Amino acid sequence: MSDIRIGGSPVDIAVSGLRAQSKKIGVISSNIANAFTTRGEGGQPYRRQEVLLRTSDELMGGVRIDRVAQDDASDFKRILMPGHPDADSQGYVAMPNVDVSSEMVQLTTASRAYQANAAVLKRYQEMVDLTVELLR
Amino acid sequence: MGQGNGIIPDLQAAMRAEALRHTVIANNIANAETPGFHRRTVVFEQKLAEAIARADGEDHEAVSPEVRTASDPMNENGNNVDVEVEIGAMIRNASAYKVHMRLLSKMYHQLDTAINGI
């Protein structure tokens, strides 16, 4: 055996993937829900959130959720709506920097990744069952 | 009883602990959205290993599973159940149960062979 410490079992790794993707889906749904929220924290429109994933410190330890970061780089969309209570003096309303269609794409990606991790879990379970069958 | 039969009570104890753990995990999943619920875990293998390390005789058979309430970080509604983690624990537990069940069945099969012949 080598000295390299192999981290978790496939169950732990797949579960870490499931948790990461589930967190991602949660944050994406928050972005979609707030796609038209003109007033969030500090009177500013909502800023989209992004989950940052890191590999686990352990070798083969799966993935861990580093943090949920705010997207401050992209600008708010300015839409002309003079009658809106949050409109500025020129009649423009600042809308969140959420692009619903790109969030939908990310939602699909995240749910596919979730499915993939669930498939790994299921397949591993089948493998163990196969080994147990040898104990007849 | 011969040497090999000593393992039957151990297997039974392990299976009892696993059955209890299955119930505890099912309860955690059922309460995944219950405000203020704290997830519970079953401690058995660790206690058994400690008892075996300590024991010079048979007293590890007295080891019984213990239900503990986990104090992991909680979410907004005071609940710390993570369904994915529980499902992982349930799969692992079910695999261990299957292995022990097969081993137990094999032990009984051996006894049967000894009594009735092949």
B-interface mutation test, from A128, A129, A134, most B Cβ less than 10 A away: A128
pLDDT of residue A1: 43
Of all residues in chain B, the percent with pLDDT exceeding 70 is: 90
**SS3 for A49?**
strand
What's the complex ipTM? 0.75
pLDDT of A93-103, one tens digit each? Answer: 999 999 999 99
Predicted model pTM: 0.82
Q: What's the distance, Cα to Cα, between the start and end of chain A in Å? A: 29
pLDDT of B72-106, one tens digit each? Answer: 878 888 899 999 999 999 999 999 999 999 999 99
Alpha-carbon distances, residue A113 vs A54, B5, B77, B86, B116 (angstroms):
15, 47, 27, 19, 54
Element (H, E) at A67: strand A63-70
pLDDT of residue B56: 62
CA proximity to B72, closest of B44, B40, B45, B42: B40
Average pLDDT, chain A: 90
pLDDT of B44-60, one tens digit each? Answer: 999 888 887 886 655 66
Q: Residue written as tokens 């062979």?
A: B113
Partner-chain residue, chosen from B88, B98, B106, that has the shortest CB–CB distance to A12? B88
Contact A81, A92 (CB under 8 A): yes
Confidence of residue B6 (pLDDT cuts 50, 70, 90): confident
A-B contacts (CB, under 8 Å): 38
pLDDT of residue A91: 92
**Poorest-confidence range of A113-122, B27-36, B37-46, B62-71?**
B62-71
Confidence of residue A27 (pLDDT cuts 50, 70, 90): very high
Residue A133 token pair = 């069958």
DSSP per-residue string spanning B54-87: H-SSSGGGG---EEEE------TTS----HHHHH
pLDDT of residue A61: 86
Bridge partners, residue A63, by sequence: A55
Contact A76, A97 (CB under 8 A): yes
Element (H, E) at B93: helix B83-116
Cα A50 versus chain centre, distance? 7
Distance between A29 CA and the closest CA of chain B, angstroms:
17
Does A15 contact B at CB distance below 8 Å?
Answer: yes
Q: Which residues of B touch A18 (CB under 8 A)?
A: 84, 87-88
